[in-house]
Amino acid sequence: MVFPFLWMVLTSFMEINQIFSDKISLIPQPFIIDNYIHVFTKIPLTGYFINSLFVATLTTAGQIVISAMAAYGFSRMKFPFRDSLFFIILATMMIPPQVNIIPLFFMMSKLHWIDTYQALIIPGLFGGFGVFLLRQWFKSMPYELEESAKIDGCGYVRTFFQIILPLAMPAVATLGIFTFINTWNSFMWPLIVTSSDAMRTLPVGIAAFKGNFVEETQWGQLMACAVISVIPVIAVFLAGQKFLIKSMIIDGMKD
Amino acid sequence: MAPAFLGTLIFIILPSLCSFLLSFTKWNLLSPPVLCGLKNYISILSNPLFYKVLFNTIFYSLSISIFGVIIPLLLAVIIDKKIKGADVFKTMYFLPYITPMVIIAIVWEWILDPQRGIVNQLIFRSQIDWLYNSNLAMYSLILVSIWKNIGYNMILILTGLQGIPSSLYEASKLDGAGEIKTFFKITLPLVSPMLFFVMLITMISSFQIFDLIYLMTNGGPENSTNVLVFWIYKNAFEYFKAGEASAIAYILFLIILILSFVQWKLRKKWVYNE
């Protein structure tokens, strides 16, 4: 199961002669870091990395705030058509994103957002999953807390930020990790809306880097890129493993 | 509330309605779309490539949802026996599921490289074209996808297994049933709703595969790995036939909708409550 990861790390420290030799050997000999130096100096890997980090972080933060506000409204306030609106938001989870990609692309080009951070971030802020997940959580929270806050003169906004959100941390963390990893890994949308090297995210940048090899593919350098883009995912995963697995399970059980 | 609903309206609901309208037009993404009635659907349904692409997509999804359930089931049964280090196992198996597809694609391309790849050098000692042979490419992609999905499906199945009361196992032990008999008579029937559920969600996500295809085979060789979403992408952004691409997207949507509907109906019936 983990062999591909192991092989990726080993190859990233190998010299080109060893990679292309007829005799296969598993241990890098000599052990070099030139592949890493090369990908950081010869291609804008740092730029891709920063783009990915920026887009994933902002998307995650935005998703949390937007979904939490909506979920709070759906679980606590009374207004006409509340349940039908909630149902509509839930139903959008069934729409495969690929169905929307052409009109969305057109929208982005009309807004002159192609090749900007707006295009990479804004359409990713909305989705039924976050609203659904947080609403379930809010509904299970006792009313008494909010009532006492109200008696103390807290408005909806303050109650939300000071009482509800902190108490919903486990659900928020779950949504956050899920959104971060999905955005970090997303490929089709960034591929379509970015055109310059400066705006590419890590996956699209690496794909372009690989596409540039005409004769011999530099596997060592590609594996170095791979190691670098896997590290944040593993870090987030290990930090929030408990939440992540849970969120993935809920994602599967949704609808 | 308002931002979430407006955003959903603008970035999800509106585009899907537009997509539906566009599927009845001829449009090259630049000049205004021109209505053409059902022409796109007719031209797709009379294109032999459509049936090939549809077959590929179904074959791919079905293989993954069958083997992507059997293998994790066996692993889950073993892990459920509380062997030492089960948590480490779980983490290891989950890793591919959260790794970016680009990384999975390039690492496997390197492993399966015909001349230098470790699989050919170490095991087969001949230059097998895993990805550049139209008879093999699809199977290689299926293998990679199953590998990617094992961890996730295993964890879902494990939650199913943990819902089986241990008294049933004890009773079966008292009756003198062996491990294999217990598996077929108790574990399998009780976990089968979960298995069917996992199969469905795997199928739904497999129908939407794009990045793996784009990165590893580009739909080739000879369209042997061309699938619906890849074909949508090609039509829209390479051939500039956005109308036809929208029509294909709606055919895909219809399939997903049917699968989601089945999943939703069944979920109500038997999926566990937390």
Residue B272 has pLDDT above 80, yes or no: no
Cα–chain-centroid distance for residue B249? 17
Cα–chain-centroid distance for residue B115? 29
Non-local (6+) Cβ contacts of A38 within 8 A are A221, A224
Contacts of A119 in chain B (CB under 8 A): none
- Minimal-distance CA residue of chain B relative to A135: B1
Give the confidence band of B274 by pLDDT, cuts at 50, 70, 90: very low
Decide if A103 and B116 are in contact by the 8 Å CB cutoff: no
Decide if B210 and A102 are in contact by the 8 Å CB cutoff: no
Residue A244 has pLDDT above 80, yes or no: no
Nearest to A125 by CA among A56, A62, A54, A51: A62
Tokens of B8: 């959903």
Sign of CA dihedral A157, A161, A165, A166: negative
User: Mind listing the pLDDT tens digit for each residue in A24-37?
Assistant: 777 887 888 888 88
Tell me what pLDDT residue A254 has. 57
The CA dihedral of A232, A238, A241, A247, to the nearest 10 degrees, is 0
Task: Name the more confident of B172 and A245.
Answer: B172
Decide if B12 and A95 are in contact by the 8 Å CB cutoff: yes
Q: Where are the domains of chain B?
A: 48-270
Tell me what pLDDT residue A189 has. 94
Rounded Cα distance between B23 and B38, Å, is: 8
Q: Where are the domains of chain A?
A: 3-253
- Tell me which residue in A11, A202, A248 faces B152 most closely, judged by beta carbons: A248
Rg (Cα) of chain A, in Å, rounded?
22
Q: What is the ipTM of this complex?
A: 0.86
Contacts of B244 in chain A (CB under 8 A): none
User: Mind listing the pLDDT tens digit for each residue in A181-239?
Assistant: 899 999 999 999 998 888 999 999 999 988 888 777 888 889 999 999 999 888 888 88
- Minimal-distance CA residue of chain A relative to B238: A192
Those of residues 5-34 in A touching chain B at CB distance below 8 A are 5, 7-8, 11, 19-20, 24
- Tell me which residue in B106, B118, B253 faces A210 most closely, judged by beta carbons: B106
User: B126 with A15: CB under 8 angstroms?
Assistant: no
Contacts of A8 in chain B (CB under 8 A): 103, 107, 110
Rounded Cα distance between B131 and B138, Å, is: 8
Look up tokens 């400066």; give the residue.
Answer: A198
Decide if B107 and A70 are in contact by the 8 Å CB cutoff: no
Q: Which DSSP string do the residues of A235-253 spell out, in sequence order?
A: HHHHHTHHHHHHHHHHHHH
CB atoms within 10 A of CB B50: 16
User: Mind listing the pLDDT tens digit for each residue in A73-93?
Assistant: 888 888 888 888 888 888 888
Highest mean pLDDT among A135-149, B80-94, B204-218: B204-218
Those of residues 158-177 in A touching chain B at CB distance below 8 A are none
Percent residues over pLDDT 90 in chain A: 24
What value does the mean pLDDT take over residues A9-23? 81
User: Mind listing the pLDDT tens digit for each residue in B180-200?
Assistant: 888 888 888 888 888 888 998
Highest mean pLDDT among B63-72, B127-136, B186-195: B63-72
Contacts of A245 in chain B (CB under 8 A): 90, 94, 155
Non-local (6+) Cβ contacts of B145 within 8 A are B60, B64, B68, B206, B209, B212
What value does the mean pLDDT take over residues A146-156? 79
- Tell me which residue in A100, A206, A253 faces B16 most closely, judged by beta carbons: A100
Residue B142 has pLDDT above 90, yes or no: yes
What value does the mean pLDDT take over residues B96-111? 91
Cα–chain-centroid distance for residue A7? 25
Rounded Cα distance between A233 and A238, Å, is: 9
What value does the mean pLDDT take over residues B133-154? 91
Q: Which DSSP string do the residues of B14-76 spell out, in sequence order?
A: HHHHHHHHHTTEE--SSSPPEE-TTHHHHHHHT-HHHHHHHHHHHHHHHHHHHHHHHHHHHHH
- Tell me which residue in B95, B207, B260 faces A2 most closely, judged by beta carbons: B95
Residue A255 has pLDDT above 50, yes or no: no
Give the confidence band of B273 by pLDDT, cuts at 50, 70, 90: very low
Percent residues over pLDDT 90 in chain B: 34
Tell me what pLDDT residue B268 has. 64
Give the confidence band of A253 by pLDDT, cuts at 50, 70, 90: low
Task: Name the more confident of B61 and B84.
Answer: B61
Each residue of A57-92: b (16+ CB within 10 Å) or e? ebbbebbbbbbbbbbbbbbbeeeeeeeebbebbbeb
Contacts of B253 in chain A (CB under 8 A): 95-96, 99
Rounded Cα distance between B151 and B86, Å, is: 12
Q: What's the CATH number for A3-253?
A: 1.10.3720.10
Task: Name the more confident of A9 and B90.
Answer: A9
Residue A243 has pLDDT above 60, yes or no: yes
Q: What's the CATH number for B48-270?
A: 1.10.3720.10
Judged by a CB distance cut-off of 8 A, whether residue A107 touches chain B is yes
Q: Backbone dihedral region of B128: left (phi > 0), alpha (psi from -120 to 50 degrees) or beta?
A: beta
Tell me what pLDDT residue B144 has. 94
Query: A245, A254, A255: which to substitute to probe chain B, counting the most B Cβ within 10 Å?
Result: A245
